[in-house]
Each structure stands twice: as structure tokens, then as C-alpha cells.
Structure 1
Amino acid sequence: MKNFKSNTSFLFAFVHWPVITRILCIIFIINISFGVLIHFIEPAEFPRIFDGIWWAVVTTATLGYGDYVPVTVTGRSLAILLIFFGTGFVTTYFVALAASAVATQNAYLEGKVEYKGEEHIIIVGWNERVKESLMQIRGLIQKPVAVVLIDQTLQQNPLHDQNVHYIKGNPIYDQVLLKANVKKASLVVITSDQSKDEVQADMNAVLTLLTVKGLNPDVHTIVEILTSAQVKNARRAGADEIIQTNMLSSYVMINSMVSYGMSNTVLNMLDQLKGSKLKYLDADESYIGTTFEKLSNQLLQDKILLIGIKRREDTMVNPPLFTLIQADDSLLVIKD
């Protein structure tokens, strides 16, 4: 009874193996069996069992080198059976292998395959801003950057040829973010959904942020918010950085209304500051109590341009020259 159960369990497991694995196992069994049989049927022509197995493999692969050939009626009858059974299984194997490769490729393109890497960037949502940002990142960072794109509207990966892994789905659900391996991500960027109105887009962004932080509280998050009313909710949800797109656009428009042509100047300035040139530096202990003017002159000697101070939640750009540097201040500088 135990042997019967053992055999039954093995057959049950075998039936549930992948099709390619099952066919390959059958091919091996057929080749070994026919190779052993031909060795005993014609020991003169096939002096070793390996010679028989070699002949069986060559025959099923339809290569037919002719270095080993059965000469007896029994041997040739066995060869006919091998051709009928073995060649059919080999053909089926290669067809199944090709179909599996195509299916896997389509699964990657259609965003059905989970990402297993680590220290990657997850970008939620696809739009022209995301496309341009990815192009900029690749130009600024020398080493390859692993990017996982999550979107539920795309039919397939828009950047499959640029090392971007696509996950199709709604990021407010745990299983979608887990598919993107959010627990091992280094950065998550949540963009605004252009298919929704501003209020709904912001609510969706905050809900996505809550899901991200619930799965990985330590990951750095950047969230795009369109309405000022949702900024507080984004902060409550744990956003590390909030980009108010509409506010940034309004600032550029105001400057252009006051000074014609200023929008191009602002864009050119931001383009030159892209990457790591504009950054925050922690105030050294030796800087505390120093005036903004004196510290600015001191940093200029190291080719660092001091343009502002971040004090808690407030950022002062070009503050009064007599402003004193305090503990926990961050220095806004331009540095090559």
C-alpha cells in the first residue's frame, strides 16, 4: 500500500510539472531505453551502451550522422519505432520551448512578471514628465539605474528596450506593489494620474503613498500633488518630498508676466542645475554663529555658491547678509 501511494504521488507530481520539463524527461527516458536496447540487440555495431544512447539521441534529433547504424531487422525495426516516438517528442519539445519563450517575452511586455531586483526606483504612473525624467536620469548617472514602472492604463511596456521593468496594475493594492518588490526599493516616485481630475488624482496619489509606506515605511518617497489642499494629507501619509506641480507652473507664469521671456530663462537655469549641482549641505559646527555674508565668501573659495538656508520647514533664498547660521540649518548651495 505504501508503494502504491508513493507511485501515485510521484505520478501526480509529474503531471503537474511544466510541459517542457515533462517532455524533456520523456525524451531522456526514450533515448536511454532505446540506446540500451540497441546495445544488447546489436553488440557488434554498438559495443558500448553510450554508443547506443548516442545513436538514439542523433536519430531523435533527425541529424543522422551515420557513424552508428543498425544492420539487423530487429535493430532497424527498433530504429523505426524510435523515429516514430522519439522524433515526435523532440519536435513537440522545441515547439513548446519556442511557445514558452514567446509567452515569457509577452508577459514581460504586458507587465505580468514580478520584479526580483533590489535598490531600484519605482515610478508610479506614465506620462511625458516620467519619460523625460528617465531620459535625464540616464544622461546624468553613469551606472545603470534599475527602474520599475507601475501603470494600469498601458497595454505594454513603453520603454522595454531601455532596461525599464513594467508592472501593470493599480498601485493602491498591496499585490501590485509587492510585484514591484517595493520592500527592497530605494526610492518611490508617485506621479499624478492625468486621466483623473485634480482632486481625484491627488486622493489617488495619497492612497498610493499610504500603501507604499504600509509595506515599506523606510523607503524614500516623492509625491506629485496638484491641489494645495492635499499637501497636508500627503505629509500625514508620510511623504518625504512633495512636488506641487501647479504651484511650480504658476511661479514660472508669474515671472513671465512680470518679465517677458523669463520662462525660457528659468528652464535654462533648471537645465543647467539638473543632477547634483543644486543640493543641501548640513551646516558644519564651525559655521554656527557665522553670518550668511561671511560664510558665502568662505564657501566661494571652494567654488561653492551659497544661495539660501533651509531652517526647519522654511527655505530662505538670498536671506539678509547679517543672518546668522543656526544649528540644524541646511545650506542651499550650487556645487559641481
Structure 2
Amino acid sequence: MAKSNKSMIHWLRWPIHYRITIFVLLIILVFGELISLVEPKEFPTIFDGIWWAVVTVSTVGFGDYVPKTYLGKGIAMIMILAGASFVTAYFATISAAAIKRQNSYAEGAVPFKGNNHVVLIGWNEKANEMIESLHSVKPYKQIVLIDETLKESPLIENVHFIKGNPSNDQTLLKANILEADAAIITADQHKNEQEADMNSIIVLLTLKGMNPNLYCVIEILTELQTKNADRAGADEIIKSYKLTSHFIMSSYLAKNGLSKFYSELNPASGNLFKVLPVTENLIGKTFKEASHELLEKESILIGIKRGEETKVNPPLSYEIRPLDTLIIFTH
């Protein structure tokens, strides 16, 4: 009956630098104790023998302890031949492991272990701008970038790159999607508008399927897919086709450099929009009265959100109710 090779398989599964480390330690301990037994005058204690073994196999060779007998020198020769090769292999494997780890990180193969992070789907100029904005507002917020077109990480501080298909469960598990704070899905710039929207919705369904409580923001390029994104569970739908067209038309109608104003809407500039629940002192007051109070706090009241209805710049007499939320522009 053949013997089980379970122990050998278990041993071989260990990383090679762990196994070499064990061999080196065994050589040092065994030969350190052996030399202290063979030459007790030159090596009074076992620790002296171990010290000699360490400096010898590491090729440092201080010369403070030296074997005098032929037997001691023979033991030293065997240890040098056996130990030096393992020590060299040890440092070589440590270096190789470090380089492999670095390459794996750059290639997006290393799983993310943190939590409360933002998962950003898709790499493009918009994604780059969002990362810069988020770093300005929340400099320590971790971002996990998922993209299957990038060859290597963009190497941005606090950004962990995962290479892979974002609609694949394994890719999302590498991004630790179960402990993420939110996910932002940008439209795939390598596809046409319809295909990009369908791809984004599939990613959204995968995200919500794995983590139903995850706050998801999705960019949609066509009106046709807006309802599907809503059905898929998007918490926020950004209709970039509308935003862009509105900004362009506003710039045309104003004809006075509105693009400079739009750049100030970037959170990185220090100004940002907030949606806040109404406070007790504002309940029952008009839009005009609430605007004056918030203006004293360096906040501009833009509009009122009431259920599914949003009123931007409502009439001055518009009364604020208990369940309303305020849309403000602040810094």
C-alpha cells in the first residue's frame, strides 16, 4: 500500500522563501550546537556557536570565533558549502518575491483588503478628474479602480487597481465589494452609446446582486436606458448627455465665458453641492427667508427636494415643509 504524500504536498505548497528560511535556520542551529560540542574551548556556549554559524553562512566572517581542530574545520567547510547556497537562494527568492508582488500590484492582480472605500468602474479622463476631486475633499479615502483595458496601474496615491471585467463576481470580490462604501460606474468610452449603457447596467446589476445596500452612481449616455438603470437599482443616475448639452447651450446663450464658472463647480476647487435634511428652525419659512439664513453661514440655497420632485430656484414664497431636503452650494 503506497504511503500518503499529504505531508509532502502540504510542505511544497508553502512559499519557497518560507521553506528556504526554515532550512537556513536549521543549518545555523544544528552546526552552531555541533561546533560548540566539538570545540568547547573555542565556543564556550551554544550561543557562541550559533553566532559563529550566522556570520559564517552570511559570508560576513568577523573572525572572533574560529575552529582550531581538523574536525571543527571540516564541520565549518560542510556548513559553508550547505549554508551559503541556501542563504544566497534565500535572498534571491526574497528579491524575486518582492519584484513579483510589485509587478502583480501594477498589473492589477492583488486583491484589495480595506473597507469603506469607493469602487470606480472604468478608466478615462472623467475617472481621473473624479479621483482628483475626491482626493481634494477626502484625501484619505481609498479608491479601488476596476478596468479591463489598462495594462498596468495608473499609480495614483490611495488608488488600488484591479484588472478585470467589472461584471464578473471574482473581479468584484477582489475589490472587496462587500465592504465598499459606494460604487461609481462610468460609461465605457470604447463602445458606442447603446452598448456602453447596456454594459453599465449589467455591471450595476452585478454590484447590486452582490451588495444590495451599496450606494451606486451610474453614468448613462442615452435616454432609452435611463429607466432600465432605475429598474436595476441605481441610487443616482447621471444623464451626461443632458448635462453636457445644457452646459453647452447655457454657454451659447450667455456668451460670456460660463466655462470658467463651470470649473468652479468642481469639489476640488473648494465649492460643492450638498443635499441636507431641513432643520427645525427652517420649517414653515419661505424660500426667501431660508436663503437669507443660509447665506449668513456662507451657503447658497439652490433648491428644495420634496419626495421625487425637485424645485430649483422656486418662488420666493415657496414654504419649506418638515420632510423636505435642501440643495445648497457651499464650501
Q: Fold match, TM over 0.5?
A: yes
The alpha carbon displacement at 1:242 in A equals 1.1
* Alignment partner of 1:260 is 2:255: yes
State how 1:6-85 maps to structure 2 within 5 Å: 9-85=6-82
1:133 to 130, 134, 149: 130
The alpha carbon displacement at 1:171 in A equals 0.5
* Deviating more after overlay: 276-285 vs 106-115: 276-285
Amino acid at match of 2:314: P
Gaps of at least 5 residues in structure 1 are none
1:182 to 166, 177, 180: 177
d(CA) in 1 for partners of 2:267, 2:82:
69
The alpha carbon displacement at 1:161 in A equals 4.6
Q: 1:79 to 1:298 in 2, by over 3 A?
A: closer
d(CA) in 1 for partners of 2:201, 2:4:
55
The alpha carbon displacement at 1:164 in A equals 1.1
- Aligned residue number for residue 331 of structure 1: 326
d(CA) in 2 for partners of 1:134, 1:273:
10
Amino acid at match of 1:54: W
- Aligned residue number for residue 150 of structure 1: 146
- Aligned residue number for residue 290 of structure 2: 295
The alpha carbon displacement at 1:5 in A equals 10
Amino acid at match of 2:317: F
The alpha carbon displacement at 1:96 in A equals 0.7
- Could you report, residue by residue, the CA deviation over 1:4-57 in whole angstroms, capped at 9, with x for unpaired residues? 999954333222211001111111111111112212211111121221111111
Residue aligned with 2:305, SS: strand
Amino acid at match of 1:134: I
The alpha carbon displacement at 1:101 in A equals 0.4
- Could you report, residue by residue, the CA deviation over 1:100-133 in whole angstroms, capped at 9, with x for unpaired residues? 0000000000000100001111100000111112
Q: 1:76 to 1:316 in 2, by over 3 A?
A: same
Amino acid at match of 1:331: L
Residue aligned with 1:45, SS: coil
- Could you report, residue by residue, the CA deviation over 1:188-231 in whole angstroms, capped at 9, with x for unpaired residues? 11111000111111111111111111111112111111111111
Residue aligned with 1:149, SS: strand
State how 1:242-281 maps to structure 2 within 5 Å: 242-271=237-266, 277-281=272-276
d(CA) in 2 for partners of 1:81, 1:298:
86
Identity %: 44
TM-score normalized with structure 1 length: 0.92
Q: 1:271 to 1:30 in 2, by over 3 A?
A: closer
Q: Say what the alpha-carbon RMSD is for the aligned residues.
A: 2.2
1:206 to 188, 201, 206: 201
- Aligned residue number for residue 104 of structure 1: 101
Residue aligned with 2:202, SS: helix
d(CA) in 1 for partners of 2:269, 2:278:
23
The alpha carbon displacement at 1:249 in A equals 0.6
1:310 to 296, 305, 313: 305
Contact 2:183 2:217 in 1 (8 A): yes
Q: 1:79 to 1:232 in 2, by over 3 A?
A: same
Q: 1:43 to 1:147 in 2, by over 3 A?
A: same
Q: 1:302 to 1:45 in 2, by over 3 A?
A: closer
- Could you report, residue by residue, the CA deviation over 1:144-185 in whole angstroms, capped at 9, with x for unpaired residues? 111110000001001x25121100000101110010001111
Q: How many residues align?
A: 331
- Aligned residue number for residue 86 of structure 2: 89
Gaps of at least 5 residues in structure 2 are none
